[in-house]
Amino acid sequence: MKTFHPGDKVFAKVRGRPLWPARVENVVASTPNNVKYNVFFYGTAETTVCKVEDLLLYYENREKYGKPIKRKGFTQALAQIQRREPPPPNMPGSIPTTQRADGESEGEGDLVVDEAPRTSIQSHQ
């Protein structure tokens, strides 16, 4: 039986809607024959409880189910799920990394933190 973990990106199936980009929030119920997850839907910001059989891993199924459709919020949901986190390094479409001379890896879109102290100017009137 497949299992999911909080933070996993998935396509979730809810009655009356197509498979929708979502994120697993947590496990709601877990018995040997009944596992349910609380999921957050991108694009609509709705949450619901889904059975394990109603969830598919996003990265393994995005080619098949990740094509824009004419459904309100779906295109926005795809954009949100794609920009939230880069795919795992071993998945197709991941950001390539290069090795720097100092041994650190460097990838496109690396976060640069400006550690300079900030000063605030307050005006009193």
Can you give the residue ranges of every domain in the chain?
Answer: 9-96
Structure-model confidence comparison of residues 46 and 111, the more confident one: 46
Structure-model confidence comparison of residues 36 and 66, the more confident one: 36
In the three-class reduction of DSSP (H, G, I as helix; E, B as strand; rest coil), residue 10 is classed as: strand
pLDDT on residue 118: 46
Segment 10-44, tens digit of pLDDT: 999 999 888 999 999 999 888 878 899 999 999 99
Segment 92-119, tens digit of pLDDT: 333 333 344 444 444 444 444 444 444 4
Q: What is the pTM of this model?
A: 0.63
- CA separation (Å) from 93 to 34, 62, 82, 100? 33, 11, 11, 22
If you average pLDDT over residues 49-57, what whole number do you get? 94
As a dihedral over the C-alpha atoms of residue 11, residue 14, residue 19, residue 22, rounded to 10 degrees, the angle is: -30
pLDDT on residue 87: 47
pLDDT on residue 74: 84
| Statement: 9-96 belongs to CATH 3.10.20.30 | no
